[in-house]
Amino acid sequence: MNKNVSIITPCYNGEAYISRFLESVLSQRYRPIELIIINDGSTDNTEHVLCSFKERLEQKGINYIYLQQENKGQSAAINLALPIFTGEYVAFVDSDDILPPDAIEKKVDYMEQRPQIGLLINKVKVLDFETLSVLGTMERKQPMGKDHLFADLISGNNVFYTPGGYFWRANMFRDSMPKPLQIAAPREIGQNFQLILPIAYKYPVGYLDDYLYFYLIRPNSHSRTKHTYEQILKNWGVAHDVLSSVADDIERDSAKRKHIQNLIDSRYYHELMSHAYNYKNKTDFKTYRNQWIRIQAGNNKTKAFLLQLNLWGRRHFNKAKAYVSTLLTK
């Protein structure tokens, strides 16, 4: 008998696109599926569209659970589903994206043959929302030796964060997550770090060399909203606090916990440094640069000097590159 798969999907004002996502769930060759959709306080016709699919989904053998809440954001919406999902595997899918028909089938088949794997990563195609033409791809290059996915997720090295590119074994997911099974729900950041990091820290990860998720670029989506410099700093401050809280939950050993915090602090100050540079805030850039170098180098003055030299070289190379580009366009 096939294992039950839960798909958890928050939706806010998705009237224009949620049907396409639901059709992709109906097209799945795999059963049984439990689909939990959380209406995050939509003010358009989303509820009518979601309810109109109930009969078709159930006729196709899909257990459809419809939840709703006041608008609180995606993380809060997911928290409604975490205590009630029943699948032996779980996928977190965005409501404006698409699953190809063989997505769930191939993922379950891979995991069933490898019971030690807690988290599966597949490739992702990036599509234009209107035309569905391919704009690019997302993937993690599988490391040849030891896999440091957890550290790479924090540092942003050779990773992507789109949740549809991941697939969780439910019992290992629950075991690795904080108790009770909930995530922090600030609006400034998404939920993906909190869902992926704990299981990546505790359990082995597997890789499927197939494109099993279609990520659609929607011009007015939340992830593409432009923010001011102050908003960016605030968002990264919230992210830093949430990541630190996640680290508190997954590691109690003080030495290991300190190492994780160094990874988090390094990413935090590197991001602030990069944004200060892009916004031409020299005072902030120097402050964040010095903090980042201090974390990276510790008390090693030679390493601190080399890091500063490397940053100087990259900055001036980029300036020269931009200058040459302007000459070539004249």
Backbone angles phi, psi at 227, to 5 degrees: -120, 155
Eight-class DSSP state of 130:
T
Residue 135, H or E segment: strand 134-138
C-alpha 8/C-alpha 36 separation (Å) is: 5
The pLDDT of residue 304 is 67
Domain residues of the chain, as ranges?
5-224, 229-329
- Residue 223 DSSP class: G
With contact defined as beta carbons under 8 Å apart, do 5 and 89 qualify? yes
- Residue 129 confidence (pLDDT): 95
Q: Are 126 and 137 in contact (CB under 8 A)?
A: yes
In sequence order, the 6+-apart residues with CB closer than 8 A to the CB of 252 are none
| Nearest of 238, 155, 239, 235 to residue 200 by alpha carbon | 155
- pLDDT tens for the chain, 330 residues long, are 899 999 999 999 999 999 999 999 999 999 999 999 999 999 999 999 999 999 999 999 999 999 999 999 999 999 999 999 999 999 999 999 999 999 999 999 999 999 999 999 999 999 999 999 999 999 999 999 999 999 999 999 999 999 999 999 999 999 999 999 999 988 888 799 999 999 999 999 999 999 999 999 987 665 556 789 999 999 999 999 999 999 999 999 999 999 999 999 999 999 999 999 999 999 999 999 999 999 988 777 676 666 676 666 665 445 544 544 554 454
pLDDT computed for residue 318 by the predictor: 57
The 3-state DSSP class for residue 330 equals: coil
Handedness of CA 139, 310, 297, 237 (dihedral sign): negative
pLDDT number for residue 317: 45
Which H or E run includes 7?
Answer: strand 5-11
Say how far apart CA 208 and CA 43 lie, in whole Å. 38
Q: Which CATH superfamily is domain 5-224 in?
A: Spore Coat Polysaccharide Biosynthesis Protein SpsA; Chain A (3.90.550.10)
The first and second tokens of residue 186, run together, are 């600030």
